[in-house]
Chains A and B, each alone.
Chain A
């Protein structure tokens, strides 16, 4: 589903397979973590990537970042193919393409003070004088809402929400254009989560950012994303605007996922939830549609071939043969 006009980032049939080896290190199969994913990220949007654990959403983010080498497919960023660049070739581009780790507490060096942590990217990527660097660090620190005094603290001395702010400040000093946020709110309390989300939105306006927002928390995604891609076992099964996807989900997996979110004041999911079973082993996938083993709409045709991601409605694609049908009541 690539558009020739080209967004900021384009993924074409991106694949990342991990080898499965037995005890004797003999290769016995592939774990298809990301399988033929094609996406376009438009400039200035927030694209959400949602799915349950093991669906490949983090692997997708890391493959885009070059942390994993893709098995196949192309990654095009700002018109340049960055799929197979050598590290020194990609340095200039990588500056504009940044990634925040899931757990900022673990990704910040515990022996470095915040000030030094924020200075490091500038040392690597720019040739600013130390006075100019200090200026940039101060600017960014106030942009993410941390007091000046924090420059002299160590990562363990600040709270989880503040660690996230530092993680964000660290990549924003380089003025990137695309930021991949990997589970940016997991492990935060709701009251803190809300302030961190507001920060993302403020920074987006201030620095003209594009986000790829990877999360398993659908209510957060609904809140801040413009478009959403739903992944199941390495495949994108539905892609559309947040409004349409949450308002009228089409793929049976998306429908089940949405019906599993508790919503205060609405009907209780303990009365209405219908999906049974658990995802199959990702190393041993069912043939055809990967959701067919749990799907209430499954028919014999589903096992024969993998349904492609097709735009059934303008701007809204899903990968299901029967997405027009209603799900039978449980």
Chain B
């Protein structure tokens, strides 16, 4: 597939009191045009850091990008000036749907005022370079029509009424619909959704997933969907990449991935999901501290297939099937 985003050998560390935590260890990752890619992993695996690195919003005083390339539609985002990133890419070509929609709204302004502010700067009609405080009336009127149209598309009841409300006056599910609408308004090429359904109830989650999947395919937007929940990833992703302790360990098309995972960690993770037939799996041990990560394969201390090379040599990415990549010396046998 035609690549929209390609991350190559990205290495990010965080300076802490106890030393440098190597949160991303030469990660490779890509998103095709119109593709929904799930970035799956447990807490602390680096999925949010990767999403933030792509957006260019890592904390400047502690995060340190030591090497790597983030190629987005032919330009290396790490080499761009922060001005160009802020005006042309972030919020315009790449938008963001947060995990917690409540803390992403300003509580003292109405939702309408906040969406208008967004459209003033990031509307597809707005010139990125001539940013000024002036908001032409004609464009404002066109933008408002566009906003109302989109709010109807995300199935919000009474769009005009909602624009006059304050964020605390609408429910969690509606706030997340608003966030999705706001992410779509600038007509981006890539939406980064960081655990967008984690804070929601299951029935609302199902509605939001359905909506996101429909909108992404209708508008041909790529979505990078981070989640810790494999079930959610199964629902909407075309392709899944699993991360463990700062390394991507397996990447495959959704159907292959869930039918026959090849990396031992992924397999154990899938077996940890509660299921009546199988009993409860679980993985012994804990996620390693990233200040002093295990040598070689970062999963080897918890792995049941460890060989001699695992602790010594960092496994390279190898292709085990069509578009099926894993990082392991002793992969699980393929299911015939």
Q: Which residues of A contact B (CB under 8 A)?
A: 52-53, 159, 161, 189-195, 197-198, 216, 218-220, 222-224, 256-257, 259-265, 268-270, 273, 275-276, 278
Partner of A260, one of B202, B213, B270: B202
What's the nearest-Cβ distance from chain A to residue B252, in Å? 14
Q: Please name 25 pairs of A and B residues whose Cβ atoms are closer than 8 Å in the assembled complex, sorted by A.
A: A53-B201, A159-B286, A161-B286, A189-B43, A189-B287, A190-B42, A190-B230, A190-B269, A193-B274, A194-B281, A197-B274, A219-B275, A222-B274, A259-B206, A260-B202, A262-B235, A263-B234, A264-B258, A268-B235, A269-B206, A269-B210, A269-B235, A270-B209, A270-B236, A278-B204
What's the nearest-Cβ distance from chain B to residue A245, in Å? 13
Check if A197 sits within 8 Å of B258, measured CB to CB.
no
Which residues 253-299 of B have a CB within 8 angstroms of A?
Answer: 258-259, 268-270, 272-276, 280-284, 286-287
- Max chain A C-beta neighbours (<10 A), residue from B173, B235, B275: B235
Q: Which residues of B contact A222 (CB under 8 A)?
A: 274, 276
How far is it, in angstroms, between the C-alpha of A268 and the C-alpha of B236 when the chains are bound? 8
Known interface pairs A191-B269, A191-B283, A268-B234; A52-B206 also in contact (CB < 8 Å): no
How far is it, in angstroms, between the C-alpha of A275 and the C-alpha of B204 when the chains are bound? 9
Check if A264 sits within 8 Å of B273, measured CB to CB.
yes
Check if B203 sits within 8 Å of A52, measured CB to CB.
yes
Known interface pairs A194-B274, A270-B235; A223-B280 also in contact (CB < 8 Å): yes
Partner of B210, one of A161, A193, A195, A273: A273
Partner of B202, one of A193, A261, A270, A276: A261
Q: Which residues of B contact A257 (CB under 8 A)?
A: 202-203
Apart from A259-B206, A261-B231, list 8 A-B contacts with CB within 8 A.
Answer: A189-B228, A191-B283, A194-B280, A224-B274, A257-B202, A260-B203, A261-B202, A263-B234
What's the nearest-Cβ distance from chain B to residue A278, in Å? 5
Check if B230 sits within 8 Å of A219, measured CB to CB.
no
- Max chain A C-beta neighbours (<10 A), residue from B43, B207, B269: B207
Q: Which residues of B contact A (CB under 8 A)?
A: 42-43, 171, 173-174, 201-207, 209-210, 213, 228-232, 234-236, 258-259, 268-270, 272-276, 280-284, 286-287
Check if A216 sits within 8 Å of B201, measured CB to CB.
yes
Check if A269 sits within 8 Å of B276, measured CB to CB.
no
Check if B268 sits within 8 Å of A191, measured CB to CB.
yes
Check if A218 sits within 8 Å of B202, measured CB to CB.
yes
Q: Which residues of B contact A193 (CB under 8 A)?
A: 272, 274, 282
Partner of A191, one of B174, B272, B276: B272
Check if B209 sits within 8 Å of A269, measured CB to CB.
yes
How far is it, in angstroms, between the C-alpha of A284 and the C-alpha of B287 when the chains are bound? 46
Q: Which residues of A contact B286 (CB under 8 A)?
A: 159, 161
Partner of B280, one of A53, A198, A259, A270: A198
How far is it, in angstroms, between the C-alpha of A307 and the C-alpha of B33 when the chains are bound? 51
How far is it, in angstroms, between the C-alpha of A192 and the C-alpha of B285 when the chains are bound? 9
What's the nearest-Cβ distance from chain A to residue B151, in Å? 16
B213: nearest residue on chain A (CB-CB)?
Answer: A270
A198: nearest residue on chain B (CB-CB)?
Answer: B280
